[in-house]
């Protein structure tokens, strides 16, 4: 067999990866630091900066003139102390969020919010008119988190192009598993603004498991504990022969190393306030305090104690902090992560000892207390032999290669919270349950409540509770043009579709006419502080009372339906009721209305039964009238002939048909 050699002129050897038309990179867009990586032949590697740096700090500094290109990375972070008014950090925590969701520091926001004259004259509400996302004012500019994130992504794109010596315009970008639709959409928009096509949004714990599994050939159930700068995720995955199946996931989209910084900064500022209680903290001083707190956190990961300065408002104060005090400050935050881990184990039906290993992801897992608590919960030392800062990007790079070149591995992710619609009585009817593998499409059929109803409101909600007002509203849309029918006759097929990125589309189709309406669910901004974990915690704590409330609501709906049907019947055939029957029915109606107004479900069912009994003579007379009307002008022989042809093979009784016709 002859092998053909590729011969090139001297100096004309193609650059590495040249001719790879399907090149795509993996990006971990982090709260504190970001990383870009690339995989070739299932071997991922982080793309380093020209100075050999692994991480790109997720910090952006803006110049005084709008035309000045922003600084991104270490150069921007160094300006935090000298020019805090020019610097934006931890922007990931604002993705898809509103002004009220922003974490405050000692009553002061570490960001200057842009005033929105349509919302409030003083700018306290500061929501983007185009969708409710918060906007910031930085040196006279008005910026959204999407724009700031796009600047970070541009820097990562440039790093990749410099390292690979070619254009990079496609990427797999990772997001926290608990990012909702708004935050995921904002991330995709930021990438598009940076000139990157997003092949897929991959959950960070899943990406980490992919990198670890392929690198080590691991099999079995593994926990991925991901504590980054701004978010926390815990996922349980089963790895087997290249298939990575997420069994259950949980987390908190507003819990991370930044909260450790806040706890330390609050401690320092409380000491500072003892010296000058009259001073009001500015947003720039808040940034300075957070910077000092972050330095303290990083030092205390290895040192026993230390001293740090806060230079703000012309006053310099010194603050000592030892390991014991530091741990007491962050202990409640670490406990929140282990509590969530416990709930996720319950969801998966697993005990800690059934987990083969715990993979640590995120820079905040370097904190000794975090590692100690994780080891105590799972009864084993966590696996930390892969750099927790780079493992997510490495997994994203592997997924990017899989989507462009192909791979033997398969990712099966899940949706973190249940999705459903509102039905009569304010009840949540779940269509897709949490921890359902994605992508997924599920449909459920619904019907009309009133006679002649020609439109239906579709209200999409997210959460685990039984009643709509206990869950989070995502979107509303109306299906018009339903043919007027009796209540319950129309067939409305509602379909929920979640794509591989975790983004939701809902459609409603009237089966008779084929009329269809759909909406891509895009909430105005993300779930507020602790909402995700609160939803799950409340669903467990209130499971019994929620079900009782749901059953009561269903009973009330049944009662109202009976009353509506009876009212419609009386309006048409009320002459069939004599005065005594009418009085009996009215008394039963009153008792049912009283029961519906109460909180006793059994009483409602009993009252419905009483009303059925009271209206039975009227119902029988209506049936007789209907039969007589249908048989007017027909001979018994004609009916017998029709009955014989229509009931052939059905087991019908001809004698019974004749008897009915005779009546």
* Cα angle for residues 486, 488, 494 (degrees, 5° grid): 130
Q: Where are the beta strands (DSSP E) in 241-352?
A: 243-252, 305-312, 315-322
Helix (H, G, I), strand (E, B) or coil at 509: strand
How far is residue 444's CA from residue 496's CA, in Å, rounded to a whole number?
9
Which among 28, 389, 413, 466 is annotated as catalytic?
28
Question: Taking the CB of residue 112, how many other CB atoms lie within 10 A of it?
Answer: 17
> Which residues, in sequence order, are CB contacts of 424 under 8 Å at separation 6+?
449, 557, 560
Which among 116, 181, 189, 204 is annotated as catalytic?
204
How many CA atoms lie within 13 Å of 69's alpha carbon, on the beta-carbon side? 7
In order of 331, 436, 484, 561, 565, the CA distances from 452 in angstroms are 60, 37, 4, 14, 13
Residue 237, phi then psi, degrees to nearest 5:
-125, 145
Identify which of 444, 440, 450 has the alpha carbon closest to the alpha carbon of residue 420.
444
Catalytic residue check, 51: no
How far is residue 295's CA from residue 286's CA, in Å, rounded to a whole number?
14
Helix (H, G, I), strand (E, B) or coil at 590: helix
How far is residue 494's CA from residue 363's CA, in Å, rounded to a whole number?
43
Catalytic residue check, 28: yes
Which among 116, 226, 347, 413 is annotated as catalytic?
226
| 400 and 173 Cβ atoms separated by less than 8 Å | no
In order of 385, 409, 411, the CA distances from 209 in angstroms are 13, 12, 10
Identify which of 384, 349, 339 has the alpha carbon closest to the alpha carbon of residue 364.
384
Helix (H, G, I), strand (E, B) or coil at 173: strand
Question: Taking the CB of residue 191, how many other CB atoms lie within 10 A of it?
Answer: 25
Catalytic residue check, 654: no
Which two structure tokens, joined as six digits, stand for 483? 């043919």
| 53 and 155 Cβ atoms separated by less than 8 Å | no
Locate all alpha helices (DSSP H) within 381-420, ordered by sequence.
391-404
| 360 and 209 Cβ atoms separated by less than 8 Å | no
Question: Taking the CB of residue 630, how many other CB atoms lie within 10 A of it?
Answer: 10
Q: Are strands 516-520 and 504-510 parallel, antiparallel or unpaired?
A: antiparallel
Which two structure tokens, joined as six digits, stand for 160? 């990749």
Crossing angle for the helix pair 257-275 and 283-300, to the nearest 10 degrees: 120
Catalytic residue check, 151: no
How far is residue 536's CA from residue 539's CA, in Å, rounded to a whole number?
5
- Sheet containing 232-240: give its strands across: 357-361, 220-227, 232-240, 243-252, 410-414, 437-438
The string over 521-559, giving b where at least 16 C-beta atoms fall within 10 Å of a residue's C-beta and e elsewhere, is bbbebbbbbebbbebbebbeebeeebeebbebbbbbbbb
| 136 and 177 Cβ atoms separated by less than 8 Å | no
Which among 92, 127, 157, 297 is annotated as catalytic?
92
Q: Are strands 220-227 and 455-462 parallel, antiparallel or unpaired?
A: unpaired
What are residue 101's DSSP bridge partners? none
Task: Please list the active-site residues.
Answer: 28, 92, 204, 226
């Amino acid at each position: 067999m002859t092998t053909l050699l590729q011969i090139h002129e001297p100096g004309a050897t193609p650059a590495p990866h040249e001719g790879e038309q399907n090149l795509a990179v993996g990006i971990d867009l982090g709260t504190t630091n970001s990383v870009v990586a690339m995989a070739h032949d299932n071997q991922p590697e982080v793309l380093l900066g020209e100075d050999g740096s692994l991480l790109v700090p997720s910090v952006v500094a803006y110049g005084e003139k709008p035309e000045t290109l922003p600084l991104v990375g270490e150069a921007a972070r160094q300006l935090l102390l000298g020019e805090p008014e020019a610097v934006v950090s931890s922007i990931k925590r604002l993705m898809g969020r509103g002004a009220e969701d922003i974490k405050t520091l000692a009553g002061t926001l570490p960001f200057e919010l842009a005033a929105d004259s349509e919302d409030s004259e003083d700018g306290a509400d500061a929501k983007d008119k185009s969708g409710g996302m918060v906007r910031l004012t930085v040196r006279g500019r008005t910026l959204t988190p999407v724009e700031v994130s796009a600047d970070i992504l541009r820097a990562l794109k440039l790093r990749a192009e410099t390292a690979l010596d070619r254009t990079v315009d496609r990427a797999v970008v990772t997001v926290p598993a608990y990012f909702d639709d708004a935050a995921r959409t904002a991330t995709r928009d930021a990438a598009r603004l940076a000139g990157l096509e997003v092949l897929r949004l991959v959950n960070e714990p899943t990406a980490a498991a992919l990198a670890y599994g392929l690198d080590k050939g691991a099999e079995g159930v593994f926990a991925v504990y991901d504590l980054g700068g701004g978010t926390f995720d815990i996922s349980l995955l089963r790895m087997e022969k290249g298939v990575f199946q997420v069994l259950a996931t949980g987390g908190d989209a507003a819990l991370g190393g930044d909260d450790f910084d806040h706890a330390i900064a609050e401690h320092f500022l409380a000491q500072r306030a003892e010296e000058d209680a009259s001073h009001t903290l500015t947003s720039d001083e808040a940034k300075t305090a957070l910077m000092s707190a972050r330095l303290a956190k990083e030092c205390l990961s290895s040192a026993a104690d230390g001293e740090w300065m806060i230079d703000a408002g012309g006053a310099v104060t010194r603050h000592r902090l030892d390991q014991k005090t530091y741990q007491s400050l962050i202990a409640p935050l670490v406990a929140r992560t282990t509590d969530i881990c416990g709930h996720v184990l319950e969801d998966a039906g697993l005990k800690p000892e059934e987990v083969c290993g715990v993979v640590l992801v995120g820079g905040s897992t370097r904190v000794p207390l975090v590692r100690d608590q994780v080891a105590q919960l799972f009864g084993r030392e966590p696996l930390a032999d892969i750099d927790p800062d780079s493992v997510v990007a490495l997994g994203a790079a592997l997924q990017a290669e899989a989507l462009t070149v192909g791979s033997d591995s398969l990712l099966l992710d899940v949706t973190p919270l249940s999705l459903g619609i509102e039905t009569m009585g304010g009840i949540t009817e779940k269509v897709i349950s949490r921890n359902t593998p994605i992508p997924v499409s599920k449909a459920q059929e619904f019907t009309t409540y009133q006679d002649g109803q020609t439109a239906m409101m579709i209200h999409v909600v997210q959460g685990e509770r039984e009643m709509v007002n206990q869950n989070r509203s995502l979107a509303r849309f109306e299906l018009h043009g339903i043919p007027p029918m009796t209540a319950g006759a129309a067939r409305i097929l509602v379909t929920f579709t979640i794509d591989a990125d975790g983004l939701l589309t809902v459609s409603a189709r009237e089966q008779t006419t084929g009329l269809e309406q759909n909406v891509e669910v895009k909430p105005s901004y993300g779930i507020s502080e602790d909402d995700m974990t609160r939803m799950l915690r409340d669903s467990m704590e209130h499971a019994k009372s929620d079900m009782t409330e749901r059953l009561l609501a269903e009973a009330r709906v049944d009662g109202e339906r009976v009353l509506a049907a009876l009212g419609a019947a009386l309006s048409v055939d009320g002459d069939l009721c004599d005065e005594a029957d009418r009085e009996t029915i009215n008394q039963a109606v009153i008792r049912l209305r009283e029961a519906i107004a109460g909180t006793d479900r059994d009483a409602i069912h009993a009252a419905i039964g009483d009303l059925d009994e009271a209206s039975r003579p009227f119902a029988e007379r209506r049936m007789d009238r209907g039969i007589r009307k249908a048989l007017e002008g027909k001979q018994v022989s004609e009916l017998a002939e029709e009955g014989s042809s229509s009931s052939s093979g059905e087991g019908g009784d001809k004698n019974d048909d004749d008897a009915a016709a005779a009546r």
